[in-house]
Amino acid sequence: MRKPIIAGNWKMNKTIAEALEFVNDVKDRVTTTEVDAVICAPFLALKDLKEATKGTNIKIGAQNMHFEESGAFTGEVAPAMLKEIGIDYVVIGHSERREYFNETDETVNKKVLKALEVGIDPILCCGETLEQREASQTKEVCKVQVEKGLENVSKEDLAKVVVAYEPIWAIGTGKTATAEDANDVIAYIREVIAGLYGELANDVRIQYGGSVKPANVSEIMSQSDIDGALVGGASLAANDYVELVNF
């Protein structure tokens, strides 16, 4: 059985004070142990969030990291820096990072491998643009992104990787894939992983992301292959986050 994982991606939102106000509001309402409830916050808030969520069911993730251990990479954050403060997850290869910060399948793969090496579970994002969808390239795009992202991931580490299928045209637009469409692509992504790892693919959690909100989360989560959601906008409001996690 794959444990559902609902992760909020706050993107570049919330100061430390706002982040703490949020967790203090939600922490006693996120009581389920049947779902992994995650908040992926800006770097500056991570340490305080880890401390504020100690003893609760909320896990904390980063939204990016560098793949090198240390060195002359001005402005970057190293894997060990996240590990030191107990970060549980790290989002890797979000489409905004691919689009605005030149992330490639190669750097995404290096980051996935490094996260696993230091003991942080990567959330590996994939998904097609509207143009690619209209050209019926959705599955091929996801196949390439997932195969390249997982290159050299060992069988032992595979189940620590969470894949997030996020059609770019559905991110922050209010448009969602239908639950059936999302399930179809996610089932295909599982087949791609099975092509690489056989039955171990059944242990990999695959999320859907793209305008998920309290009103549609239960329909999305009722699909056979969808194991969770990566949620941007709707994860910023405390009451919505609680509803999402308690889908």
Q: Which residues are catalytic?
A: 94, 166
Residues near ligand PEP, by CB under 6 A: 9, 11, 166, 171-172, 209-212, 230-234
Q: Which residue is nearest to ligand PEP (CB)?
A: 232
Q: How far apart are CA 145 and CA 127, in angstroms?
A: 8
Binding residues: 9-11, 172, 211, 232-233
Binding residues for substrate: 9-11, 172, 211, 232-233
CA–CA distance from 153 to each of 67, 110, 228, 242 (Å)? 14, 10, 22, 33
Q: Among residues 78 and 189, whose Cβ is nearest to ligand PEP?
A: 189
Q: How far apart are CA 56 and CA 62, in angstroms?
A: 18
Closest contact distance (angstroms) between CB of 182 and ligand PEP is 12
Tokens representing residue 30 in the block: 């996120």
Tokens representing residue 154 in the block: 């060992």
Q: Among residues 11 and 114, whose Cβ is nearest to ligand PEP?
A: 11
Q: Among residues 157 and 219, whose Cβ is nearest to ligand PEP?
A: 219
Q: Among residues 165 and 197, whose Cβ is nearest to ligand PEP?
A: 165
Closest contact distance (angstroms) between CB of 95 and ligand PEP is 8
Q: How far apart are CA 125 and CA 39, in angstroms?
A: 16
Q: How far apart are CA 228 and CA 225, in angstroms?
A: 9
Closest contact distance (angstroms) between CB of 174 and ligand PEP is 8
Q: Which of 80, 48, 84, 45 is nearest to 63 (CA)?
A: 45
Closest contact distance (angstroms) between CB of 215 and ligand PEP is 13
Q: Which of 14, 129, 127, 113 is nearest to 68 (CA)?
A: 113
Whether residue 161 contacts residue 150, with contact meaning beta carbons closer than 8 Å, is answered with: yes
